[in-house]
Structure 1
Amino acid sequence: MSATSTHDGIVYANAKELLAAIEPASGGREISDPATGDIVGRVAEGTVADLDAAVERAKAAQPGWDALGHAERRRLLNAAADAIEANAEALAELLSREQGKPLNGPNARFEVGGAAAWLRAATAYDVDPEVVVDDGETYAVKHYRALGVVGAIGPWNWPMMISIWQLAPSLRMGNTVVLKPSEYTPLSVVALVHVLNQVLPAEVLHVIPGGREVGERVAEHPLIDKIMFTGSTSTGKAIIRSSADTVKRLTMELGGNDAGVVLPDVDAKAIAQDLFWGAFINTGQTCAALKRLYVPEEIYDAVVEALIEVAQQMPMGPGLDEKNVLGPLQNQAQYRIVAELVQDAVDSGAKVLLGANPQSDAAGYFYPTTLIGEIDPNSRLVIEEQFGPALPIIKVKDVEEAIAHANALDVGLGASVWSSDRAKATEVAARLQAGTVWINSHGTIDPRVPFGGAKQSGYGLEFGLDGLKAVAQPQIING
C-alpha cells in the first residue's frame, strides 16, 4: 500500500512513506531510535536565518488568517484534526521510533489521538466580547484580538501533543505560529506540521528544527509577539530573560516534581493501578507525572505491596512491539540522570523495592521500572525531578507531615490526594501548593480544564476557554 491523496491532503500508509515526504533530499542530521540505536531518519537542521525568514512569512500571513474569522478557522482546524486521524498510524509509528514510547498503553497511539482531540477542543468555545460595565453612563466591552506571531518551543517527551497544545489555540485566535521542536524529537513535529499543512493555508504554520541558537532567537525575535514554552525551569528562566527587551507575552509550563499524598483510609489495591500510571505514564517522562509519593506508616506496607504487584505486570521494551507499555528513556542524558539519582538513594541507605539494576550491555536507554522505599525525604531522588521510571515512596507519620514535605519544594505543577473520603481529600488538596491537584488520579488532563503551574513550575493557563484567551490580546472599548 502506498500514500494516497484525498480532498483533505495525502494519507500515508506508514512511517516510511511519511518520512520520505519530510526528509531532506540529501544531508541532514540523523535521528536514532532510543530503543535500538537504529537510525530513524534525517532532519534538515534550520538556522537562525531560516527562522528569521519563517517569522517574516508568518507575520505577512497573519492579517489574512485573522481576517478569515472564527467560523472559517474552526472549520480548517477541524479539517486538520481529520488529517491527523487519517494519518494516525503512520504518525504513531514514527513517534514510537523517534521518542521511544510504545504504540500501546497511554503512549504513541494515545498521543496522536490526543493531538486530534486537543485540536478539535480549540474550536469548541465561542470567544465573545464581554460587557464589563453597562450602567447607563459607562459602556465598556472587552474583546479578544489576535496577538500576531506566536513562537512555540516544545519538549521531547510529548512532542506531537504539546505542539498541538501550543499551536491549536494560537491559530484559533487568529495568530500565526512558528514552532521550534526539541533537537531530540524533531521528526515527529515536522511530520505533524506536514500533515496539518495539507489543510491549512500557506505560511500560517511553520516548523524550524534547529539547535540552541534557534531557540534563543525565538525568545528574542522582535516580530514574535508571544512565546509558549514547555520544558525545564532553568531553560524557562533563560527564555524569560531573553524575551524581556521586547516585552513578549509568555505562557511557561516548566518543570515539576509532583507530590502524591495518600490518606490512611485508602484501599491500597483499589488505587494501585492509577497510582502506577500517575507515576509511570510515558515511562515517567512527563512534567505532571507523580514523582514522589508520601504514605502514612500505618498503610505504607500495603501500598508498597500493591504497587509492586502492578509494576511487575507492565512489560517494558521496544515501542513497536505491541505487547509493551513501557519504553526506554528518550536520550542518554536523561538515562544518566535517572541512574545517578537512584544510585545516590541506594548509597544513602534507601531500600530497593523493585528494579534499580539496569543491564549494562542492553541495547537502548532502558532503565527498569524502579520503586524505592525507606527513603530520606531529603534524598536527591525525592527533591530533584528524576523524569524517568523511578518512584520514591516516602513513609510519613501522618498527613500533616506529608503536606509539609509536599509543599517544601520550589515547584508546583501538579499534586494528588488519594482517599476514600472525597470531602477529606478536598480539604487536603486545598492545602497543596500546585496548579492542579487531582483526587484519586494523577496527571489526567482534559482539554476543557485549564492547566498551569504554581511557584517555579511556570505561569499562564492552557486548555479550555482560558487557554484561548491566553493567546489573545484583551482590548477594552469604552464608550
Structure 2
Amino acid sequence: MRSHREERVMTDSVSRPHIEPGKLFIGGEWAEAFAKGRRDITDPSTGQVITTVAEADAADVDAAVAAGRKAFGTWSQTSGRERARILHRVADVIRRREDELVAVESVDVGKPVSLCRAVDVATAAEIYEYYSGLAQTIQGATRHIPIPSHAYTRREPLGVVGAITPFNFPLILSSSKIAPALAAGNVMVHKPAEDTPLSALLMAEILAEAGVPDGVLNVVTGDGAVAGEALLRHPGIDKIAFTGSTKIGRYAAATAGEGLKPVTMELGGNAAQIVFEDADLDKAIGSAIKAFVFNTGQFCMGGPRLLVHRPLYDTVLEILAGAVAGVPVGDPFDPATVVGPMAAERHLAKVEEYVRIAKEQGGRIVTGGERLDLGGGYYYQPTVIAGLSDDSPVVQEEIFGPVLTVQPFDTEEEAVAMANGTPYGLAAGLQTTDLARAHRVAARLEAGIVWVNDWAMLDPAIPFGGVKQSGYGREYGPEVLESYTKVKSVVIAL
C-alpha cells in the first residue's frame, strides 16, 4: 500500500463495471466448484449484490494444489531470466488494463477510483516490475572451509505456496505475495478474502495473458473456514503466506504448524504517530489525517493513535476538527471522493461499537461519530476522539475504521512508552525537525517500520512487517525472497 505519491489527476471517468459470475482458476482453466456453490459479492457503496463467485471447498483446493504441483517441476527449472521476462510482462499488462482493475477494485472494496488508480493499481505494477528484476539475482555462495572439499550453497524454491489475503488491499497484498513467490520459482494457490475476490480473478487472467504457465497461479474463492482451512491443512502445501487479523493469524499459524509448514504472518496493527513540540504543525496535521482516513481506515499500517506534546494539544484538536470535517466522503466513482464506504456491513458495525464505547468511557467526539446515509452504502464519518485513557479498548485495540484517538504527553520518554503500549508493532511514526531526536526515537519504537515527518511512505524495495502481535516475516524488499526459498548446502570431497 502506498500513499506517498503525488496524486495523479484523473482526466477520464471510470464507470461501475458489469461483472460476470466468477469461477475458480485451476491449472490455467476456469471451472465451477465441485459442489456448485456460489457466494454473493456486494458493492459496499450501495449494499447491493453485483455478482457471484464460486464457493470452493476442500476438493477444489485439492485440485488446485495438484495443478500447482504439476506445474512446479517445470516452473522451478525455468531460468531466472525467463521468469523475469514474464513478470515484467505482467506489469505491462496491468498498466494496459489499468481502467479495468481500477473499476473492479473500487466496486469490490469501496475504494475511491482516484485511490485505486494512484495507489493500488500503480503499486501492483511496480511490485511485479521490482521482482522481475530480482528474479535473476537469486543465488547461493561458495564457502571456504578447512575440509578438503568444494562447498557451496544453493537457494531453491519451496514448492507450492498457499497465500491467504485480506479484504482491504486485495490487489496489492496478493501481488506482494505472488510476485516474489513466482520470482523465486515457486507456484501458488491463492485464497482471496471471501468479500473481495474480484481483482484476484482478474489478475489470474492478466498473469495468464502475460505468459505465466498453466498451474503456476491457481485461485480458489470461498469461505475462510472451508477453503482457507483446507489450504492450511493440505499436505501438498509447502508454505503459508498470510495477511489478516491477529486473531485469525494466530489460528492459521497454529494450524499450519501441525504440518510443520513454514509461515509468514502480516497481522494487525494499531500504530501511534508522535507529534513533538518542534514539529512542522501543518505537515503533522496532514500526515495525521492521511494516516487514519487512508482507505477508510482499513489499513493495518494506519495511524489511528495521535500522541501530541501537551502545549500543542488543544491547538491540534481545534485544527483537526475543521480539517477532518472537510474531508470529502462519498461515491467511490466520483474522482473527488477521498473516503469511501467501509468494505462490509460488519466492519461498519464494529466501528460503531468502538465509538459507542468511547462515549461511555467519557471520550469527547471532536468531529464525526456517526454513520452516514448515502445510497444504502456502509459509510461512516471520519471521527476524532479526545479524552480517553491509555487502557481504553478504543486506544488499545485495532478498530480498522476511520477513527483517530488523540492523547497528550509531557516528555519524550512518556511518548515512547505510550506509543509502545499496545500489543501491536507493525508501524509507528513521529513528527519532529530535530534530526537527532528522529533517529533516537525511531530506534526505540517497537515497530517493523517507522516513518518520520510523513505516513505510509512505502515502496516495493522497502521491507515491512510486524513485531509483537503484529506477526513475523517481511513483505517487500529482497528480504522477502528469504521466505520463499530454502538453502541447500553441497559439499564435494576433493
Matches within 5 A, 1:268-283: 268-283=281-296
Q: Percent identity?
A: 35
**Mean alpha-carbon deviation: is it higher for 52-61 or for 431-440?**
431-440
Aligned to 1:438: 451
From the superposition, tell whether residues 276 and 171 of structure 1 become closer, same or farther in structure 2 (CA, over 3 Å): same
Pick from 110, 113, 117: which aligns with 2:122? 113
Provide closer, same or farther for how the CA distance between residues 14 and 120 of structure 1 changes in structure 2, counting only shifts above 3 A.
farther
Quote the residue 1:472 is aligned against.
Answer: 485
Distance in 1 between residues matched to 2:284 and 2:359, nearest whole Å: 27
Q: Pick from 145, 155, 158 the counterpart of residue 169 of structure 2.
A: 158
Name the residue aligned to 2:357. 344
What is the rounded CA distance, in whole Å, between the counterparts of 1:18 and 1:74 in structure 2? 31
Deviation per CA, 1:360-419: give whole Å up to 9, x if none: 686211010111112222222110101000100111222211211221222111111111
Looking at structure 1, the residues matched to 406 and 327 of structure 2 have their Cα atoms a distance apart, in angstroms, of: 19
1:178-189 equivalence runs, <5 A: 178-189=189-200
The answer to whether the Cα contact below 8 Å between 1:14 and 1:90 also exists between their aligned partners in 2 is no
Partner of 2:52: 42
In structure 2, C-alpha distance between the alignment counterparts of 1:107 and 1:261, rounded to whole Å:
28
**Match of 2:268?**
255
Q: Which residue of 2 aligns with 1:6?
A: none
Aligned to 1:201: 213
Within 2, Cα distance between the matches of 1:228 and 1:346? 38
Given residue 160 of structure 1, which amino acid in structure 2 is its aligned partner?
Answer: L
What is the CA distance between 1:132 and its match in structure 2? 4.4
In structure 2, do the counterparts of structure 1 residues 361 and 121 end up closer, same or farther at CA, with 3 Å as the change threshold?
closer
Residue matched to 1:216: 229
Q: 1:150-186: CA deviations, max 9, x gaps? A: 0000000000110001111000111100000111101
2:21–2:53 CA contact under 8 A, matched in 1: no
Deviation string for 1:414-458 (max 9, x for gaps)? 111111112211101111111111111222221111111101111
Compared CA separation, residues 395 and 139, structure 1 to 2 (3 A): farther
> How is 1:5-404 mapped onto 2 (pairs within 5 angstroms)?
16=17, 19=20, 28-104=38-114, 106-107=115-116, 109-125=118-134, 126-133=137-144, 140-199=151-210, 200-211=212-223, 212-359=225-372, 363-404=376-417
TM-score of the superposed pair, with normalisation by structure 2: 0.90
- How far apart are 1:30 and its partner, in Å? 2.1
Gaps (5+ residues) in structure 2?
Answer: 1-13, 25-30
AA of the residue aligned to 1:49? A
Residues in 2 aligned to 1:335 and 1:18: alpha-carbon distance in whole angstroms: 25
1:232-260: CA deviations, max 9, x gaps? Answer: 11111111111122211111101111111
Q: Comparing 357-366 with 46-55, which one deviates more in the overlay?
A: 357-366
Structure 1 range deviating more: 298-307 or 244-253: 298-307
Cα deviation for residue 109 of structure 1 reads 4.6
Q: Work out the CA distance in 2 between the residues paired with 1:281 and 1:140.
A: 50
Q: Is the CA contact 1:96–1:108 (under 8 Å) kept in the aligned structure 2?
A: no
Q: Secondary structure of 1:270's partner?
A: helix
Pairwise CA RMSD: 2.1
Distance 2:460 2:37 in 1: 39
Shift of 1:137: 5.4
Q: Which amino acid aligns with 1:112?
A: V
Evaluate the alpha carbon distance shift between residue 88 and residue 362 of structure 1 in structure 2; reply closer, same or farther with a 3 A threshold: closer
Closer, same or farther: CA 361–93 of 1 in aligned 2, 3 Å: closer
Gaps of 5+ in 1: 1-12
Amino acid at match of 2:179: A
Tell me how far apart the structure 2 counterparts of residues 138 and 260 of structure 1 sit (CA, whole Å). 54
**2 CA distance for matches of 1:284 and 1:101?**
11
How many Å separate the matches in 1 of 2:478 and 2:145?
Answer: 23
Q: Which residue, out of 440, 461, 469, partners 2:474?
A: 461
TM-score by length of 1: 0.92
The residue type paired with residue 435 of structure 1 is: G
Task: Report the CA distance between 1:336 and its aligned residue.
Answer: 1.1
